Amino acid sequence: MKAVLQNEKKATGIIIALSIVVPTLVAALMYFPSDILDLDLNFPLFHAVINGITAVLLLAGFLFIIRGKIKAHKTMMISAFSLSILFLVSYVLSKISNDPVPYGGEGIMRTVYFVILISHIVLAAAIVPMALFTIYRAWMSDFSKHRKIAKWTFPIWFYVAITGVLVYLFMVPYY
């Protein structure tokens, strides 16, 4: 039992550290010069596609688990998490390689865009610890706690994936 508690503390510490470091790193990129790397990596469509596929995988994973198809659920969720990591790495590379593109819309569309963008950013930061704890609970076969947090993780992660696509659609005319 002592070993389990030590592993739990260690895992919690790692998850908390990642949950602070990852969003802080992404936020800090806004203040770095955009030409840190001499790369031309600007692929907003790629990011939107990754977000769209992630949303589909999350929905499929949800549908599989309510149908009792645990192995298929696990495959979908690991795939969604893997795509989210790919997104994060490519997003960071893109941010340090390119100047930001401002949104050029006006009126009500500008307000709608910023409401979606701000909620997307805030929830994207919040989903980091939620997804990590949800995955950790499943990994440790603590399905009671996994289900409790997954009830919150799924809709928020799904929202983040969908709004990632919406942000791209709003920005297409300005790229």
This prediction has a pTM of 0.87
Identify which has the larger pLDDT, 77 or 89: 77
pLDDT band at residue 40 under the 50/70/90 scheme? low
Q: In this predicted structure, what is the pLDDT of residue 2?
A: 54
Domain range list for the chain? 2-174
Architecture label for domain 2-174: Up-down Bundle (1.20)
- Give how far the C-alpha of residue 59 lies from the chain's centroid of Cα atoms, to the nearest Å: 15
CA distances 85 to 89, 90, 100, 113, Å, are 6, 9, 21, 25
CA distances 61 to 42, 102, 159, Å, are 30, 35, 15
